[in-house]
């Protein structure tokens, strides 16, 4: 029996470990993206100017502010993006931080699982190679013993010279 799998599993490197600086970097990156996009805004709409302006006025009174995005004043399609108040943004950022933390944790767990599976496969491969070697060695010993028994059963062939 021969082992056709000649590719030896070799583990290179180590699984990533938790790095608080990496978590902080990722959270800051997502916070920056939140603050620089429409994620930190809420869209206010109105079909007629009075409804739109009343909705904007109510939001401004609630602590919202105008965003960098243009206000649309097309007939029957009035809308504007208003920046959420700081308290609402803090809630959003806390949620984002938790999501980023969970994603980082899942990434680290997946990396650890990958290395554990590689080690398991490597150990299994080594064990299988040992078993193949042991089986080959046992077969060689058996063949040697049986050849000796066969040789002991028969006398050597005597063939006269011419």
* Residue 159 clears pLDDT 90, i.e. is over it: no
- Name the residue among 54, 45, 41, 35 with its Cα closest to residue 72: 45
Distance CA 38, CA 67 (A): 9
Q: What is the model's pLDDT at position 10? A: 87
Which pLDDT tens digit goes with each residue over 88-99?
999 999 999 999
The answer to whether the CB of 73 falls within 8 A of the CB of 44 is no
Give the confidence band of 8 by pLDDT, cuts at 50, 70, 90: confident
* Residue 146 clears pLDDT 50, i.e. is over it: yes
Q: What is the model's pLDDT at position 48? A: 93
Which pLDDT tens digit goes with each residue over 40-82?
999 999 999 999 999 999 999 999 999 999 999 998 999 999 9
Domain residue ranges of the chain, discontinuous segments joined by +:
20-111
């Amino acid at each position: 029996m021969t082992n056709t799998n000649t590719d030896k599993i070799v583990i290179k490197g180590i699984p990533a470990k938790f790095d608080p600086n990496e978590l902080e970097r990722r959270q800051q990156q997502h916070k920056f993206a939140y603050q620089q996009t429409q994620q930190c805004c809420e869209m206010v709409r109105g079909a007629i100017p009075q409804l739109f302006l009343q909705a904007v006025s109510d939001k401004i009174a609630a602590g919202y502010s105008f965003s960098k995005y243009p206000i649309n004043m097309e007939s029957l399609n009035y809308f504007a993006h208003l920046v959420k108040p700081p308290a609402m943004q803090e809630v959003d950022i806390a949620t984002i931080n938790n999501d980023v933390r969970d994603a980082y944790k899942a990434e680290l767990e997946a990396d650890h699982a990958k290395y554990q599976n590689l080690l398991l496969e490597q150990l299994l491969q080594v064990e299988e190679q040992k078993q193949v070697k042991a089986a080959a060695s046992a077969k060689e010993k058996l063949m040697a013993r049986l050849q000796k028994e066969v040789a002991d059963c028969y006398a050597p062939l005597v063939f006269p010279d011419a």
